[in-house]
């Protein structure tokens, strides 16, 4: 199997166009790529939480940061052409289930047409060799199975967020077949894959309606956290886990072309798919909370009860597998938030976690 590790010998000097760099996962990825010596151009809306990881890191002084909307094809295309990237990583999205019930049209516009706009822009960028489109574990038609979904299971998505991401998978498949077909690779030179990760946590996420940010906010306000779906099982993972998968995949596409095209799951070890209640208890313990969580008895929108990912394909084809277990990941995250609240610099904390992750085997 090829060496697809996250190493500077591959990433140093690579020009990377990264959408969603002002968000939680995108900001971690931008720091990691910058540390590895890549030349990163980010394209996203302004951060939409206060505080946020992007500003806390002062990322706009480390990478080229463009504030723009992926629904604006001309701005996106001219920005990508100017960046002349080798690799495109598309993370920008409206990523929240509850928000998608309130604003379905905006969610579809960003997640579906935004995806088409990214791929349309790639058509005008002859420098691009490798494209990774980030979707989610929620793209599958949920059958409430106890076992993990595989990449060729049927797509679906109950809520507008999940469904818009399933639609974006179809957009990518169509663009790949129509404009970047592997039979014509010698002409266009572009390889494309999609990446589906689980429920991600780590320092620097302050999104609303996400479990760990909600627990951190409750801790800061010294109130009992309110939990919506205590029995729901999700594939929890530290943010660096799927990011290492995206980077391995981008490298595989760059170095080996369309034989790595397709969809890949990047989930945790099977035993780390745990209930919301379990996560809540571990995190409140790490934060040192005396408060017990309380159940939200409001009527909440539908969410799946059971969701796991089968990661055999990423293991077999990319040699990728999770490096941390749930306790290690949650400890990294909990310590990040505690140290940040105590005044430690965000960049120092983020680089410390990346360094700790890199030495794990």
Residues that bind ligand NAD (CB under 6 A): 20, 22-26, 44-45, 69-71, 91-95, 110, 114, 134, 136, 197, 199-200, 207
Task: Report the C-alpha gap between 151 and 166 in whole angstroms.
Answer: 12
Q: Which is nearer to ligand NAD, 200 or 287 (CB)?
A: 200
Strand 273-275, strand 233-238: pairing: antiparallel
Structure tokens at 11: 């990433």
CB of 67 to ligand NAD, least distance (A): 8
Task: Report the C-alpha gap between 354 and 358 in whole angstroms.
Answer: 6
Query: Alpha carbon 241 to chain centroid distance?
Result: 10
Q: Which position's Cβ is nearest ligand NAD?
A: 23
Q: Which is nearer to ligand NAD, 64 or 182 (CB)?
A: 64
Q: Which is nearer to ligand NAD, 103 or 127 (CB)?
A: 103
Range list of β-strands (E), the chain: 15-19, 39-44, 64-67, 87-90, 130-134, 191-197, 199-201, 226-227, 233-238, 262-266, 273-275, 294-295
Classified as helix, coil or strand, 224 is: coil
CB of 185 to ligand NAD, least distance (A): 26
Q: Which is nearer to ligand NAD, 197 or 332 (CB)?
A: 197
Closest C-alpha to 152, from 262, 317, 258, 253: 262
Q: Which is nearer to ligand NAD, 20 or 157 (CB)?
A: 20
- To the nearest 10 degrees (0 to 180), the angle between helices 24-35 and 240-256 is 60
- Beta-sheet strand order (sheet of 199-201): 199-201, 233-238, 273-275
Task: Report the C-alpha gap between 51 and 98 in whole angstroms.
Answer: 21
End-to-end CA distance of the chain: 16
CB of 187 to ligand NAD, least distance (A): 30
CB of 177 to ligand NAD, least distance (A): 22
Strand 199-201, strand 191-197: pairing: unpaired
Q: Which is nearer to ligand NAD, 188 or 323 (CB)?
A: 323
CB of 123 to ligand NAD, least distance (A): 19
Q: Which is nearer to ligand NAD, 50 or 361 (CB)?
A: 50
Q: Which is nearer to ligand NAD, 44 or 163 (CB)?
A: 44
338 touches 22 (CB < 8 A): no
Strand partners, 200: 237
């Amino acid at each position: 199997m090829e060496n697809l590790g996250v190493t500077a010998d591959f990433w140093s000097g690579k020009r990377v166009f990264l959408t969603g760099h002002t968000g939680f996962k995108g900001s971690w990825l931008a720091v990691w790529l910058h540390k590895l010596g890549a030349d990163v151009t980010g394209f996203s809306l302004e951060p939409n939480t206060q505080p946020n990881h992007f500003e806390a890191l002062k990322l706009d002084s480390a990478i080229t940061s463009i504030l723009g909307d992926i629904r604006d094809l001309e701005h996106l295309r001219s920005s990508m052409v100017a960046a002349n990237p080798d690799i495109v990583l598309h993370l920008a999205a409206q990523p929240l289930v509850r928000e998608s019930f309130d604003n379905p049209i905006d969610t579809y516009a960003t997640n579906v047409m935004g995806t088409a706009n990214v791929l349309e822009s790639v058509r005008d960028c002859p420098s691009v060799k490798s494209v990774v489109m980030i979707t989610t574990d929620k793209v599958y038609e949920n059958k409430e199975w106890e076992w993990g979904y595989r990449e060729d299971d049927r797509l679906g998505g109950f809520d507008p967020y999940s469904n818009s991401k399933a639609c974006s998978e179809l957009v990518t498949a169509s663009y790949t077949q129509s404009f970047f077909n592997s039979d014509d690779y010698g002409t266009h030179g572009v390889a494309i894959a999609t990446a589906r990760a689980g429920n991600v946590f780590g320092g620097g996420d302050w999104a609303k309606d996400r479990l760990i940010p909600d627990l951190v906010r409750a801790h800061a306000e010294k109130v009992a956290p309110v939990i919506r779906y205590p029995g729901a099982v999700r594939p929890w993972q530290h943010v660096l886990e799927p990011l290492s998968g995206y980077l391995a995949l981008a490298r595989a596409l760059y170095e080996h072309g369309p034989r790595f095209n397709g969809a890949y799951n990047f989930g945790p070890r099977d035993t780390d798919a745990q209930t919301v209640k379990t996560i809540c208890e571990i995190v409140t313990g790490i934060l040192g909370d005396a408060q017990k969580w309380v159940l939200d008895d409001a009527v909440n929108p539908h969410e799946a009860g059971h969701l796991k990912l089968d990661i055999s394909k990423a293991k077999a084809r990319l040699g990728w597998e999770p490096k941390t277990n749930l306790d290690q990941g949650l400890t990294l995250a909990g310590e990040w938030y505690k140290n940040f609240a105590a005044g430690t610099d965000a960049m120092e904390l983020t680089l410390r976690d990346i360094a700790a992750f890199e030495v794990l085997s």
